[in-house]
Amino acid sequence: MSLQILLNGISTGAVYSLIAIGFALVFNILKFSNFSHGATMTASAFIAYFLVASKGWGLAPTLLCSALSGAIIGLIGEFIGFRRILLNHSAPTYFFVSSITLGTLYEGLVTLKTGTNFYVYPNFFDVATVKIFDAVVSKENIIILAISAVALIILAFIIQKTSIGRQIRAVSFDRDTAKLMGINSTLIIQVVFAISGFFGGLAGCFLGIKFTLTSTLGSLVVKGFIASVIGGLGSLTGAVIGAMLLGIMEALFLSLWGSGWATIASFALMLVFLLVRPQGIAGSNVQEKA
């Protein structure tokens, strides 16, 4: 494996890890796969495009706008999609269906606004590239990697060291007991959705920069799912490791077997993980009732 492929893999993995984190956060707390996450990414990337980037305000405001829109969409989603189901104590399967529906709704709304035209973020960087030994890396990938790393470190700090982080961990461990201990679990769930949306917004914006903005951008959320399965559903560290691993593996498969087989190979990789180590790399903290 050449250095170039490794670097390509890492830069893809960086975005995957943002997706996987947003996904894992919600899974952690409500124990379901949030399929609306992809459409949240798309919607926030588009909002940032229309409100900020198309006016030529540069990268930082665009990123911020996208992330904040993501957070807001996350909150709205929690309210219209999941709140009542949670209060009704309906089966977790309803969360799942609700998330698919929410995703459809967001995607429909984006399509209504944009049609299927695709949009391209203005070039935030000159196409200048950096040479590392004999490999070429574009500046945008380096910056994406750096920002992702910083965002993830801040998140880790929040989860591990702050009061709100402890509450999140408590609620994800056992919602009812946490409630009895005086934690406002509804508020915590809202916070988690907002953070998840925030990361979704970041990921969406990065995807828009790396690729093009289309209303189906969100389908890349699948990569986040696979990554968090490899890492261990619900584990945040695992999600990042899984995403990096997936990015590198994909780059490797692509260079070896070309497009198409690479997708099948990463699916096979996921299957192997599920069979051999269903708890994922990190070993998840999801408790099985059975």
Partner 1 sequence: MKKYLAMFLAAVCLFACFGVTAFADDPIVIGILQDTTGGTATLGKSVQKGVEDAIADINAAGGIGGKEVQFIEYDTAANVDTAIAAYIKAVTVDEVDFIIAPPIANIVNGLKAMTASFDVPMITLAVDPACYKDENGNIYSSLFCAQPSTTVQGTIMAEFALQNGFKNFGVFYTKDNSYSVALLNPFIDTVREKGGALEEANIIGYNSTETDISTLIKPLIDAGVDAIYCPNYTAPLVLIKKTCDQLGYTGAIITGLDGAPAFNTQVGADCSNVYYINNIDVYEEATEKMIEERCAEVGAPNKYFLGYDSMQMAAKIMEEVGTDAAAITEKLSSYSYEGMTGVISIDPETHMPVDGTPMFMYKYDNTTPVMLQKYPAE
Partner 2 sequence: MKLFLYVLTQVCITLVSVCGIYILTGLTGMFSLGSAAFMAIGAYVSGLLVLKAGLNMYAAFAAAIIFSVGIGYVIGFPIVRLRRDYISLVTLGFGESIAQLILLLSQFTGGAFGLIGVPRRVNVWFTLISAVIVIAITAFFKTSKFGRQCIAVKSDELAAQAMGINASRVKMTAFLMSCALTSFAGCLYAFYVGYVGPTDFGWKKSADWVIMVFFGGVNSLTGSIFGGAFLTFLPQYMQALNKYRYIVYAVLVLIILNFKPNGVFGEWELSPRNLKRLFSPKKNRREDV
Applying CB under 8 A, the residues found at the interface with partner 2 are 27, 31-33, 35, 80-81, 84-85, 88, 90-91, 93-94, 96-98, 100-102, 104-105, 107-109, 111-112, 222, 225-226, 229, 233, 260-261, 263-264, 266-267, 270-271, 274-275, 278, 286, 288-290
- Which listed option, partner 1, partner 2, none, makes contact with residue 97 (CB within 5 to 8 Å by class)? partner 2
C-alpha distances (whole Å) from 64 to each of 3, 197, 201, 275 are: 32, 12, 9, 40
Compute the C-alpha angle 236/171/154, nearest 5°. Answer: 40
Q: CA 192, CA 173: separation in Å to the nearest integer? A: 14
SS3 call for 18:
helix
Is 57 an interacting residue with respect to partner 1 (CB under 8 A)? no
The pattern of x and - marking residues 256 through 285 that bind partner 1 according to CB under 8 A reads --xxx-xx----------------------
Is 37 an interacting residue with respect to partner 1 (CB under 8 A)? no
Name the pairing type of β-strands 135-138 and 129-132. Answer: antiparallel
**Min CB(128)–partner 1 separation in Å:** 9
**Min CB(122)–partner 2 separation in Å:** 29
- Which listed option, partner 2, partner 1, none, makes contact with residue 100 (CB within 5 to 8 Å by class)? partner 2
Q: CA 182, CA 126: separation in Å to the nearest integer? A: 52
Is 56 an interacting residue with respect to partner 1 (CB under 8 A)? no
**Min CB(46)–partner 2 separation in Å:** 16
Q: CA 44, CA 72: separation in Å to the nearest integer? A: 9
Single residue of 190, 216, 237, 279 touching partner 1 by CB under 8 A: 216
The pattern of x and - marking residues 221 through 240 that bind partner 1 according to CB under 8 A reads --x-----------------
Considering only CA atoms, give the Rg of the chain. 19
- Which listed option, partner 1, partner 2, none, makes contact with residue 271 (CB within 5 to 8 Å by class)? partner 2
Is 255 an interacting residue with respect to partner 1 (CB under 8 A)? yes
Angle between helices 163-173 and 139-161 in degrees, nearest 10: 80
**Min CB(218)–partner 2 separation in Å:** 11
In the complex with partner 1, the residue whose CB is nearer, 57 or 96, is: 57
- Which listed option, partner 2, partner 1, none, makes contact with residue 214 (CB within 5 to 8 Å by class)? partner 1
Compute the C-alpha angle 253/257/259, nearest 5°. Answer: 80
C-alpha distances (whole Å) from 24 to each of 34, 64, 77, 193, 241 are: 9, 22, 16, 11, 12
Mention every residue, 6+ apart, whose C-beta is less than 8 A from residue 19: 37, 41, 199, 200, 203, 220, 221, 223, 224, 227, 243
CA atoms within 13 A on the CB side of 96: 6
In the complex, the residues that contact partner 1 under the rule CB under 8 A are 4-5, 8-9, 12, 111, 115-120, 122-123, 127, 129, 136, 138, 210-212, 214, 216, 219-220, 223, 247, 250-251, 254-255, 258-260, 262-263
